[in-house]
Structure 1
Amino acid sequence: MTTTTTTSFKPAIQTDFSFTPDEKQQFKEALSSIPANPYTQYPAFLKGVRQLLAEGRIPQRFVDMCKAARGRDLIAHPFHFVTNCPIDEGVPPFDFEQPVKSKYELKKTFIAEGFLLTYADLMGQPAIGYKNVNAGDILQDIYPMKELYKSQSQKTLLPIGFHKDLANHFVRPDFVNILGMRSFEGNEILTTFVRNRDLIDFLGPDLERVLREPNFYTPYDDLSTHSDKDAKLGRAANHPVIQGEADFVYFENRTVAYSDEGARAVEKVNEGLHSLKSRILMRPGDFVSCSNNTGLHGKDVETIKDPYQQKIRWSIKTVNVLDMEKHRQHFKEYVPGEYAIVNG
């Protein structure tokens, strides 16, 4: 396991499961048999994944692990880390200016996509898309793009502050699932993790009280607003930072306070995040599922020995919900039990 931590707490993330070489090969061969393209034939591709499960062609040890993990305490264990997962091999780098279009042209196999949807199905976490993100693709890339390389989005070359995905969006995912596809170990690009419960304990009751007041604002994420050509999203609503038992609606360096005590609380949140964080250099085949409501994640960029490798670093992700029906009013497209595309 490759975990670096700067906290006396138990690290927020640790290896929960690792495929054996034989299991990885079995899984890869099964996923290779699905004929559909998930970007142009998503329902057929999902049907293919479910057929593999019904036929018992997915490694049983992985199936059993997912069944057990569904019942875990998400406040205590917001992150689920799996290694040596099946992925596509030998995919050429994508174009820096139009990486999504380039992927459509260059990527001919869909092993990683199949793994992500298998995991989602086993965990009861249907993946959803957003109209303003990759034109509604349910499977998205974390891949740099020239036009957005300075943004706080999955297309940046820069560090990304601690956040929950789509923090103040009207449809916030319950999980963010990320599978590493290409990375260079000479570059110190580290995915960061903090448990919300640890952060609440760090802050103490007085600051928690301040952060539970609706005196904060987080703009919509950069990727959504970049594709919101008609500016239909408008302004996101003010909100409390801490909601429920341990849910942070927060994006470091983007969430702002409308009171002096709120501003001091935000400073303390940022101090706590970097005191408590665990970090992992995601390697090809590393997978992490992040509970979006009970943990925060981000990206640190430190020593870069090869700038070109930084520009072609790649992961594939899905954002997932536990119940599509409760978000139904916001869907542009919806097939119950299959998929949904958010109108925004």
Structure 2
Amino acid sequence: MASVPVSLDIEISAPDLVLTGAETAATARVAALLRDRPEGTLVDDPAWVDSARDHWEELPTRLRRALRAFRRAPGPGGALLVRGLPVAGSELGDTPLSDGSVQRGATVPASVLMLVACGLGDPAAFRPEKTGALVQDVVPVPGREEFQGNAGSVLLTFHNENAFHPHRPDFVMLLCLRADPEGLAGLRTSCVREVLPLLDAQTRSALHRPEFRTAPPPSFGAGQGPAAPHAVLTGAYEDPDLRVDMAATEPLTERAAAALAELQLLFECTARTVRLEPGDLAVVDNRITVHGRTAFSPRFDGTDRWLQRTFVLADLRRSRAHRAGDGYVLADPTGHAAHPA
């Protein structure tokens, strides 16, 4: 293995883009138009998403340019942090306590997420996951503290979102509505582009072999049988895509196990952490970057950390066989016919 830097998480304090007051106000006006759309305000309605796509062009120029640039060139870190987006904090109410909490009706934050999703590609969701809602709440849930997922509050291990799935998201968006009161919860990211130079040739070769298996979460897994073996690194050798979930990816050989352990170490060594504040939007390129979260202690009193999450597919057409009526919700990954809810 090449020389590995000793690193605690690098704290990110300088966002990639900070909106001016005028830009925040302009974004709020566009989001309000979408929220108050007279034809209907259900976020999951394809017609509402079409309206978000139309309104995308009305967002501030600097915001649109930053998102388009990131889509094409996500840089060495594979994540983008935008600060100053409107979230209408005084209108939020208490942080939800339900594991299945989603946002069905249009709000300013949901409108912001859909506007950005339409600039990066197309929003998408998975029917077994929070009933296929396009905007999902990420909140700590009582009794789920040890859960390796968005409802937990222990250290969340590094993972590509839905790593098991053939049409996993290209981008994961997390918009902060309410910060962790104690400032302990931090979004962690690590990009294969920074890890790659630190891998020795033997480990790198092992990660390119189909000697790993990633299990779906219980909500996806009923009746599917064993997951197919896959490689962790795929595509261009000099700039590969990454597919791994440290809580769900199983090595199938001894060399695969050694390679996965080294990869985990390097994720830790190159990790970046950002403690999101209200109005912060983190966009993670799920093709090359894993993400996780530091541990925190929720209060369950309505003041806990509250993010909203939306997935984006850069090429929606590739998943057409899995989407009923050419909508935005994918059925199971087995290739069975998709049916509307």
Q: Same fold (TM over 0.5)?
A: yes
CA drift of 1:279 comes to: 0.6
C-alpha spacing 1:270/1:287, structure 2 compared with 1 (3 Å): same
1:343 maps onto 2:324 in alignment: no
Contact kept? 1:79, 1:290, Cα under 8 Å? yes
Contact kept? 2:190, 2:267, Cα under 8 Å? yes
Letter paired with 2:60: P
Letter paired with 1:113: A
1:164 maps onto 2:160 in alignment: yes
Contact kept? 2:11, 2:274, Cα under 8 Å? no
C-alpha spacing 1:20/1:133, structure 2 compared with 1 (3 Å): same
Letter paired with 1:52: H
Q: 1:277 aligns to what?
A: 271
Letter paired with 1:100: S
Q: SS where residue 192 of structure 1 aligns?
A: strand
CA drift of 1:40 comes to: 5.7
C-alpha spacing 1:261/1:50, structure 2 compared with 1 (3 Å): closer
Contact kept? 2:96, 2:302, Cα under 8 Å? no
Deviates more, 1:10-19 or 1:60-69: 10-19
Q: 2:245 aligns to what?
A: 251
1:240 pairs with one of 231, 239, 259: 231
Between the aligned partners of 1:211 and 1:278, the Cα distance in structure 2 is 23
Letter paired with 2:116: Y
Q: 1:140 aligns to what?
A: 136
Q: 2:70 aligns to what?
A: 69
- The two structures, once aligned, show a CA RMSD in angstroms of 2.8
C-alpha spacing 1:63/1:163, structure 2 compared with 1 (3 Å): same
Q: Tell me, which stretches of 5 or more residues in structure 2 are unaligned?
A: 333-341
Q: 1:316 aligns to what?
A: 308
Q: SS where residue 81 of structure 2 aligns?
A: strand
Deviates more, 1:239-248 or 1:129-138: 239-248
CA drift of 1:39 comes to: 4.2
Between the aligned partners of 1:95 and 1:9, the Cα distance in structure 2 is 29
C-alpha spacing 1:15/1:27, structure 2 compared with 1 (3 Å): same
Contact kept? 2:232, 2:242, Cα under 8 Å? yes
1:183 maps onto 2:179 in alignment: yes
Q: 2:48 aligns to what?
A: 45
Q: SS where residue 307 of structure 1 aligns?
A: coil
Between the aligned partners of 1:144 and 1:315, the Cα distance in structure 2 is 10
Q: SS where residue 213 of structure 1 aligns?
A: coil
Q: 2:15 aligns to what?
A: 15
CA drift of 1:48 comes to: 3.0
Q: SS where residue 155 of structure 1 aligns?
A: coil
C-alpha spacing 1:12/1:323, structure 2 compared with 1 (3 Å): farther
Deviates more, 1:27-36 or 1:37-46: 37-46
CA drift of 1:198 comes to: 1.6
1:88 maps onto 2:88 in alignment: yes
Number of equivalent positions: 321
C-alpha spacing 1:146/1:234, structure 2 compared with 1 (3 Å): farther
Between the aligned partners of 2:156 and 2:55, the Cα distance in structure 1 is 36
Contact kept? 1:177, 1:318, Cα under 8 Å? yes
Q: Tell me, which stretches of 5 or more residues in structure 1 are unaligned?
A: none
1:187-243 residue CA offsets vs partner (Å, 9 max, x unmatched) = 3111111110222222221101111111111111x3xx2366xx1333321211111
Contact kept? 1:13, 1:79, Cα under 8 Å? no
CA drift of 1:33 comes to: 2.3
C-alpha spacing 1:168/1:13, structure 2 compared with 1 (3 Å): farther
Between the aligned partners of 2:223 and 2:119, the Cα distance in structure 1 is 35
Letter paired with 1:235: P
Q: SS where residue 15 of structure 1 aligns?
A: coil
C-alpha spacing 1:272/1:308, structure 2 compared with 1 (3 Å): same
1:247-296 residue CA offsets vs partner (Å, 9 max, x unmatched) = 22111132221222221212111111111111111111111111111111
Between the aligned partners of 2:11 and 2:45, the Cα distance in structure 1 is 37
1:38-83 residue CA offsets vs partner (Å, 9 max, x unmatched) = 54652232233234345x3x223323333443432x3635111101
Q: SS where residue 297 of structure 1 aligns?
A: strand
Normalised by the length of structure 2, the TM-score is 0.84
Between the aligned partners of 2:46 and 2:228, the Cα distance in structure 1 is 34
Q: 2:337 aligns to what?
A: none
Between the aligned partners of 1:282 and 1:330, the Cα distance in structure 2 is 33
1:114 maps onto 2:111 in alignment: yes
C-alpha spacing 1:13/1:50, structure 2 compared with 1 (3 Å): same
1:32 maps onto 2:32 in alignment: yes
Q: 1:301 aligns to what?
A: 295
1:329 maps onto 2:332 in alignment: no
CA drift of 1:185 comes to: 4.7
